[in-house]
Amino acid sequence: MLMDYDRLAKNSSSLEFSSTIDICLILTLSQTGKVTRSLNDHLQELCIHSFNAMLLFVVQVNC
């Protein structure tokens, strides 16, 4: 899925599509790919923090 945004941006920016595809769409596809990669890079850390927060909540409720 990560490469799909980059592939779409690259294919959309080719000369055969350049007259029909808006440059904003190409930029948005590239930015979406960057954001998706960044989220995936930090997903494990986010899961660990979320699980720890859930455990703290359960412990506090049961005390």
**What pLDDT does residue 3 have?**
61
For 43, counting Cβ atoms within 10 Å of its Cβ (0-12 exposed, 13-18 middle, 19+ buried), the class is exposed
Q: Is 14 left (phi over 0), alpha (psi -120 to 50) or beta?
A: beta
The pLDDT of residue 17 is: 63
- Report which of 39, 40, 11 is spatially closest to residue 25, judged by C-alpha positions: 11
Under DSSP, is residue 4 helix (H, G, I), strand (E, B) or coil? helix
Q: Within 13 Å of residue 5, how many CA atoms lie on the same side as its CB?
A: 14
Read off the amino acid at residue 20. T
Domain boundaries, the chain: 2-62
Look up the pTM and report it: 0.49
**Which tens digits make up the pLDDT trace of 3-40?**
676 777 777 676 666 666 677 877 888 888 888 888 88
